[in-house]
Amino acid sequence: MAATVGIIGLGYVGLPLAVAFAQEGCEVLGVDVDSRKVEAIAAGESYIEDVPSEVLAKASARIHATTRYARLAKADAVLICVPTPLSPNREPDLGPLVDATRALAEVLQPDQLVVLESTTYPGTTRERVAPLLEESGLAAGRDFSLAFSPERVDPGRTDYTLRTTPKVIGGLTESCAERAEALYGVVCDTLVRVSGPEAAELAKLLENIFRSVNIALVNELAMLTDRMGIDVWEVVEAAATKPYGFMRFEPGPGMGGHCLPVDPFYLTWRAREFDVATEFIELAGKVNQQMPYHCVAKVQRALNDAGLSVKGARVSVLGVAYKPGVGDLRESPALKIIELLRDLGAHLSYHDPHVPALADLGLASRPLEQLVADSDLVLIVTAHPGVDHGLVAKRARLVVDLRGVTRGSAAANVVRL
């Protein structure tokens, strides 16, 4: 018999999981505190780019979304996919996780499997989630199963899917891991069991820290090559021809999304308890945070070379989402760059096919052609697929390209990071 799967948190992680289990014939009981999401699911309307509405609509007969936890009592397994942000002073904010776990504890049943998917520091599952669930009177590893299995979804990616991306699983006990493997085997082809939740929690952080550190390395190089008059894109391209021992990372305006700028600091915080300073993480954060300032300096110089000042210049940002192909604005460096340029007196506009409006900044996406014609400078911050950057470079008065999409163009009006 197919399992009944409860999913707490129906966002970028939870909704694709809900659809995947529903497609395999499982009944999905979804819980989210956001009633708009619950209503959208009932109407078969997706709010996540990677889940087309047609796909959701087809699966929605098996996805029962609600704001109430009581229904989870009927689930065989419950996956927790709530946010794990940082507090304003950059410490782990486990508020949503604690709320969700407490609410689940009230309806927890013997023999249920609970899996935490949210990214977090090593120790969270055992030291925070287990005790809260045990307030139900049931013992973790004995009366109910508990595991950690990190989500690896990469919004916008199509070459690897939930099914084809190996899934790491760390159970509190052997039998917890076996239960989790049996569940995830329904939607994933390859399962990777590790010794316990801590190894799985840290493996996820290592993946994100690895990216953060390598992006910082190439960003630092971009700041140096700028002074040295060397083309960083050419250097990266040349190094990437080495068939072994090198992995390509691209420079850019800074790190966006809610993962890379946030997750590494979960480990930094935890490491302090062990008298260890995670210097790579801190340094990577520092370098990546400098990038929007470096990019603004490039804009300033490009305008200056054209006899213009930033004050009063019409600067248009092309692409404001944090990465290509999505409309997610979380921590997007474009927002910081817009703010910095505004502070300098520039008049800002933008075009982004995925982001119709930036309400907080009082801006709406303008048609590309109009934008290019009306601008003193076009700043390519995020290179969405489907946008003809070559044409933009040809038509615009001045272009600053922070993504290397105009490589190959030697036109005098184009400046690259």
Ligand X SMILES: NC(=O)c1ccc[n+]([C@@H]2O[C@H](COP(=O)([O-])OP(=O)(O)OC[C@H]3O[C@@H](n4cnc5c(N)ncnc54)[C@H](O)[C@@H]3O)[C@@H](O)[C@H]2O)c1
| Residues with a known catalytic role | 259
Choose one: 6-14, 183-191, 235-243, 375-383; the region binding ligand X (CB under 6 A).
6-14
33 binds ligand X (CB under 6 A): yes
Fill in the DSSP letter of residue 144: B
32 binds ligand X (CB under 6 A): yes
Give whole-number Cα distances, 330 to 18, 53, 193, 315, in Å. 23, 22, 32, 22
Residues 187 and 305: their CA atoms lie apart, in Å, by: 56
9 binds ligand X (CB under 6 A): yes
Residues 244 and 251: their CA atoms lie apart, in Å, by: 20
Choose one: 96-104, 178-186, 222-230, 347-355; the region binding ligand X (CB under 6 A).
96-104
**DSSP letter string, 74-131:** G-SEEEE-----B-TTSSB--HHHHHHHHHHHTT--TT-EEEE-S---TTIIIIIIHH
Interface pattern 112-131 for ligand X (x via CB under 6 A)? ------xx------------
In the list 155, 197, 254, 333, the residue contacting ligand X (rule: CB under 6 A) is 155
In the list 24, 49, 93, 99, the residue contacting ligand X (rule: CB under 6 A) is 99
Calculate the CA 112 to chain-centre distance: 29
- Among residues 215, 279, 280, which one has the least CA distance to residue 253? 215
324 binds ligand X (CB under 6 A): no
In the list 2, 34, 39, 90, the residue contacting ligand X (rule: CB under 6 A) is 34
Nearer to ligand X, 33 or 283 (CB): 33
Nearer to ligand X, 49 or 178 (CB): 49
Encoding tokens for residue 34?
């956001």
**DSSP letter string, 246-285:** -------S---SSSTTTTHHHHHHHHHTTT---HHHHHHH
In the list 17, 19, 20, 31, the residue contacting ligand X (rule: CB under 6 A) is 31
Nearer to ligand X, 117 or 134 (CB): 117
Give the footprint of ligand X on this chain (CB under 6 A): 8-14, 31-34, 37, 81-84, 96, 99-100, 118-119, 151, 153, 155, 259
